[in-house]
Structure 1
């Protein structure tokens, strides 16, 4: 097993810890390691809930937390009330994380007697220019034990497998707002369309995907290995019908495959992942 002593050392001395938790592999590994280091009764998983969180992701997060044995506290976030978030510039994630950490500070820390808050940034994330949410973490003094211990994405996934976490092989699942091109407004209606379309495609057997929202056009990103079956009948027709039912008028398939940071990286610089 990969050495996790660096994470444990960074949690030493904390009486009660809150982990900003999404159910993704990074925050799940952090939650599991914190529960192991401090005891599950001294750790709280904090899940931000808003229209940008798909219902399936919310349910999956609760499942992972139950597996780890840590209680979940849901916090309603209102990033959509912030004009800067709705404007959807490359710093949108900053405003989202700032809202989350503000709500945690106002509603959770005192109520649950927490001494610190941590989140699941890994060492690869820390090197990427398209992660403005990290600025919010710094401003709110949120800990990042995985990154500070030098654990990159590959190491985090290996730990998740060693711990037999149910999300160990889960594809990355950024929030629904990441599917909307920068400078196009983020609205609950658009987020709802994206959620419906992606849920329908998962029911058709696609595990990793993005539905990018370009007004009347849905641009579907799938791994290269899924493209041949996606364009073959009858699945092609089923995909089209499912996406049109979500409220789009046109359906396209992007031959470039799944692209991390597709909207943000061209505006802020190359990836370092």
Structure 2
């Protein structure tokens, strides 16, 4: 087992050296933190970290990004952009993620070229398949590489290596942009994103680790937490507290998803035809 792990790590290092100079799309999550740590160790000045700062990024992720930059000697650049400026993103169609990734990685490609770097790497691993991921098409079009995936690394592998590298993100819950909480067809605004962020902060301050607050039509907040954390809400006082806090934030109604958190739950509302049209970049009326 150990030899398999070592072989994957060695392959990752070899891949990084083959690029000579590479920019890492650094979001502060488990995957990109590990990828950046290895790239920085192996390539030194040949590695450049690029972070997108926008209204869709969670405060926690941005905090982790800045903490990494403060603690480690790494070349980096924070790129400010606002996906809400693009109607195709703001109107939140089924392929919203495509437009988001197109904006983000195009901006990073432009920045990388300023530093003489022609390769951009994303923290995609072997487990990042299935579900519905239109953003992957944008990465393919731009030519983004996936060293972790090419090295055969799974999420479990990356958490193992992250712990070995003493990275604080080794057990960090999966994260995603705030826009992924908004139901398809519901126009995305900065106000809605701020409400989602504030609501998630309430739950995190109460000790919940793995969660999402989904924004639905009619100003409804749907809470998803890890299945093992659902029992936390089986208390009248806690339910009353959460409902009151969410109402202060601006949600008219608050509901708990009885299934608990699962990746891409909003995609469950999409039918097969909608997914196929979105993959073909055809706008879908919702």
> Is the Cα contact below 8 Å between 1:201 and 1:242 reproduced in 2?
no
Q: Which one of 78, 82, 88 corresponds to residue 84 of structure 1?
A: 88
Counterpart CA distance in 2 for 1:91 and 1:71 is 33
**Alignment partner, residue 20 of structure 1:** 25
1:251-266 equivalent positions in 2, closer than 5 A: 251-266=254-269
Q: Quick check: 1:158 aligned with 2:163? A: no
**Distance (whole Å) between structure 1 residues aligned to residue 11 and residue 220 of structure 2:** 46
Q: Secondary structure at the match of 2:265?
A: coil
- Name the counterpart of 2:280: none
Number of matched pairs: 267
Alignment of 1:162-177 (within 5 A): 162-177=164-179
Cα offsets for 1:135-180 (capped at 9, x unmatched): 1111111111011111111111111111111111111111101111
Higher mean C-alpha deviation, range 115-124 or range 69-78: 69-78
Give how far 1:99 is off.
0.2
Q: CA, structure 1 residues 139+62, in 2 after alignment: closer, same or farther (shift >3 Å)?
A: same
Pair 58,268 (structure 1): closer, same or farther in 2 beyond 3 Å: farther
Tell me which residue corresponds to 1:119. Answer: 122
Deviation of 1:64 after TM superposition, in Å, equals: 3.0
5 Å matches for 1:70-81? 70-81=74-85
- Structure 1 residues 131 and 66: CA distance shift in structure 2, 3 A: farther
Distance apart, 1:55 and its partner CA? 2.0
The answer to which structure has the higher helix fraction is 2
Q: Structure 1 residues 33 and 266 mapped into 2: Cα distance closer, same or farther (>3 Å)?
A: farther
CA contact 1:19–1:119 (8 Å) conserved in 2: yes
Identify if the C-alpha distance between structure 1 residues 266 and 10 changes in structure 2 by more than 3 Å, giving closer, same or farther.
farther
Could you give the per-residue CA deviations for residues 196-240 of structure 1, whole angstroms, max 9, x where no partner exists? Answer: 111121111111111010132111011122222223143222212
Check 1:115–1:198 CA distance in 2 against 1; reply closer, same or farther (3 A cut).
Answer: same
SS state at 2:121 partner: strand
Structure 1 residue ranges without an equivalent (≥5)? none
Q: Which residue of the partner structure matches residue 251 of structure 2? A: 248
Q: CA–CA distance in 1 between the matches of 2:161 and 2:70?
A: 18
Where does the alignment leave 5 or more consecutive residues of structure 2 unmatched?
Answer: 276-286
How far has the Cα of 1:268 moved from its partner?
6.6
